[in-house]
Amino acid sequence: MKYIVCEEPTKLVLKEKEIPVKGAGEALLKIHRVGICGTDLHAYAGNQAFFNYPRILGHELAAEIIEIDHNDQGLRKGDKVIVMPYVSCGSCIACRGGKTNCCSNIKVLGVHADGGMQEVVSVSTDLLILANELTFNEMAIVEPLAIGAHALRRSNVQGGDTIVVIGCGPIGIGLMKLAQITGANVIALDVNADRLRYVVDEIGVSYAIDALKDPSGQISAITNTDMATAVFDATGNKRALETGIDYMAHGGEFILVGLSKEELCYSHPKIHAKETTLKCSRNATKEDFEFVIKHLKEFPTDSFITHQVHFSQMISNFDSWLDPHTAVIKAMIHFD
């Protein structure tokens, strides 16, 4: 079977190997879709945290079971399944507390362990979620939307609250829509005019602000000087991560969803004066996946997936997805 490996930064190679043998408690899966996310792009560019080479990328997966033993979930051959790519140990303090998403020994497929950019994979049945009612494209965007769902659940956002989401990339877009579903009012920030138009036209965001044009002043005017109950960074950009506090109300919270390799610096008087609650949000749990699946039909999947190519064409297209002029929101690889 064929697979694509990122051998080192900016080097993707198509190779062949034997079809894997299913282990005990595992299912053999045919991959139908792989979504390309920021982690894949950063890994390719050489600036992804928690990463080493060589690595088979891909953790936004839509698959079909081609071999499986009897299992507690009742999964059968032919079922369509979403793969939760977070392999947790089950015994560390985080896992014992139900926080498997930040397991101290976590291995994320496509990051710490090889992912789904291959024709067939074998994974633990515990990582599979039945999704026969969804299309393969819908299945492949559940994982990035679950990242946003987890961040939202990490917050104390209530219906009627006004929040700011920094970054109109896939994670930020998903977070905005899910926040709207829960009744929050959303202010979007980005520097890309096309992305700002997208969240207004397709997501229904009421306020879309250019982050280079006095965002604090505009947010203050929108909120009658209150500022935002919660601010979410979905960029991983150092400057955005450090300035998000400026948009937050006194008594509010700042949730860091994006990941930077840099050290961050905050003025203690500034964050102390607001009695700031600073939280990080990492990965997602099964509960987050289930929440997304429940509401997926409310999400504009067709416009969200802007680029689709066959597996055989991925390498020749990958560089273009790093170019802002390509206007990629979500690129999708299909194997059909």
Residue 12, domain member (yes or no): yes
DSSP helix/strand/coil, 332: strand
Residue 324, domain member (yes or no): yes
Segment-wise mean pLDDT, segments of 10 residues, the chain, 336 residues: 95 96 95 94 83 93 97 95 96 96 95 95 97 97 98 95 97 97 97 96 97 97 98 96 97 95 93 97 97 96 96 95 92 95
Q: For the residues of 195-249, what is the DSSP string, one character each? A: HHHHIIIII--SEEEETTS-HHHHHHHHTTT--EEEEEE-S--HHHHHHGGGGEE
pLDDT number for residue 116: 96
Q: Based on the domain organization, do 156 and 58 belong to the same domain?
A: no
Q: Based on the domain organization, do 326 and 263 belong to the same domain?
A: no
Residue 179, domain member (yes or no): yes
Q: Which residue has the tokens 């609650």?
A: 277
Residue 174, domain member (yes or no): yes
Looking at this protein, which amino acid is placed at residue 34? V
Structural domain of 42: 2-141+299-334
Q: Based on the domain organization, do 86 and 46 belong to the same domain?
A: yes
Q: Based on the domain organization, do 230 and 151 belong to the same domain?
A: yes
Residue 294, domain member (yes or no): no
Q: Based on the domain organization, do 135 and 173 belong to the same domain?
A: no
**What is the CATH classification number for the domain harbouring 176?**
3.40.50.720
Q: Return the sign of the alpha-carbon dihedral for residues 17, 55, 256, 332.
A: negative
Helices assigned H by DSSP within the chain: 38-45, 93-96, 136-140, 142-154, 170-181, 193-198, 215-222, 238-243, 268-273, 286-295, 301-304, 314-318
pLDDT number for residue 336: 87
Q: Based on the domain organization, do 273 and 191 belong to the same domain?
A: yes
Q: Based on the domain organization, do 199 and 128 belong to the same domain?
A: no
**What is the CATH classification number for the domain harbouring 89?**
3.90.180.10
Residue 75, domain member (yes or no): yes
Number of domains comprising the chain: 2
pLDDT number for residue 282: 96
Q: Based on the domain organization, do 137 and 154 belong to the same domain?
A: no
Residue 290, domain member (yes or no): no
pLDDT number for residue 52: 86
Q: Based on the domain organization, do 108 and 152 belong to the same domain?
A: no
pLDDT number for residue 47: 80
Q: Cα(4)–Cα(58) distance, rounded to whole angstroms?
A: 10
Q: Based on the domain organization, do 306 and 246 belong to the same domain?
A: no
Q: Cα(59)–Cα(109) distance, rounded to whole angstroms?
A: 6
Q: Based on the domain organization, do 111 and 40 belong to the same domain?
A: yes
Q: Based on the domain organization, do 248 and 201 belong to the same domain?
A: yes
Looking at this protein, which amino acid is placed at residue 91? S
Residue 287, domain member (yes or no): no
